[in-house]
């Protein structure tokens, strides 16, 4: 597909796996992956801002917004890429146990490209969450929960599509199921919650 970065992101919503094939065909190097993870991290930072402004202005008017923004910028821009590299390594390690064919580079590319493709979803979710915070009321927690569930489904499906293509799996659904099981297991191990 001709066009720039934004055009590739928009066209990905037509077919996530085809979008990953195109990303792999571009033969990007490690420097491009670093730019991709920096872009994705910056979008995650931007997605925190509407809620940060809505909650801080309402709940803590005397607290410095600038301090909160700087703290979130530092955390997201410096620590999120490290976490994402770890998640990519773990996903590749698990995928290899199930017959994956791709190299670790492709697993990183799949995760970072999925994050870039998720950028419009993250921004829309952030804006809607900000509106929900402003409206408040009894329905706010239910609406916020629905937004979070929608975001989680989008994250899992887009990442599963990219990872399935990168690792040579036929079924996106099975990869999505594997991600859900892996995330549930990690959550249970970290927080000591029984899955049964």
Indicate if the alpha-carbon torsion angle 98, 101, 107, 111 is positive or negative. negative
Residue 14 predicted with pLDDT over 90 = yes
Collect all residues with Cβ–Cβ distance below 8 Å to 45 and sequence separation of at least 6.
72, 73, 76, 77
* Residue 3, Ramachandran bin (φ over 0: left; ψ between -120 and 50: alpha; else beta): left
Residue linked to tokens 């309402």: 58
Give the model's confidence band at 71: pLDDT under 50 very low, under 70 low, under 90 confident, else very high.
Answer: confident
Q: What is the pLDDT of residues 22-68, one digit of tens each?
A: 999 987 788 999 999 999 999 999 988 887 776 655 566 556 667 77
CA 99 to chain centre: 24
Q: Rounded CA gap, 125 and 51, in Å?
A: 10
Buried b (16+ CB within 10 A) or exposed e, 32-55: ebeebbebbbebbbebbbbbbbbe
Residue 193 predicted with pLDDT over 80 = no
Structure tokens at 13: 């919503």
Q: What is the pLDDT of residues 128-137, one digit of tens each?
A: 888 887 777 7
Q: Rounded CA gap, 77 and 43, in Å?
A: 10
pLDDT of residue 64: 67
């Amino acid at each position: 597909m001709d066009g720039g970065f934004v055009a590739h992101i928009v066209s990905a919503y037509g077919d996530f796996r085809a979008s990953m094939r195109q990303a792999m065909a571009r033969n990007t190097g490690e420097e491009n992956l670093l730019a991709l993870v920096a872009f994705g991290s910056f979008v995650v930072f931007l997605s925190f801002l509407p809620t940060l402004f809505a909650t801080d202005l309402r709940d803590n008017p005397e607290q410095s917004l600038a301090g909160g923004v700087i703290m979130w910028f530092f955390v997201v821009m410096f620590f999120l890429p490290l976490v994402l590299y770890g998640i990519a390594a773990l996903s590749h390690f698990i995928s290899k146990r199930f017959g994956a064919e791709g190299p670790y580079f492709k697993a990183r590319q799949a995760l970072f490209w999925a994050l870039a493709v998720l950028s419009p979803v993250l921004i829309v979710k952030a804006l809607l969450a900000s509106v929900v915070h402003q409206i408040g009321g009894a329905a706010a927690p239910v609406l916020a929960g629905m937004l979070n569930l929608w975001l989680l489904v989008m994250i899992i499906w887009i990442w599963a599509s990219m990872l399935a293509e990168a690792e040579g799996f036929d079924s996106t659904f099975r990869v999505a199921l594997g991600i859900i099981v892996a995330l549930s297991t990690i959550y249970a191990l970290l927080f000591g919650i029984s899955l049964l």
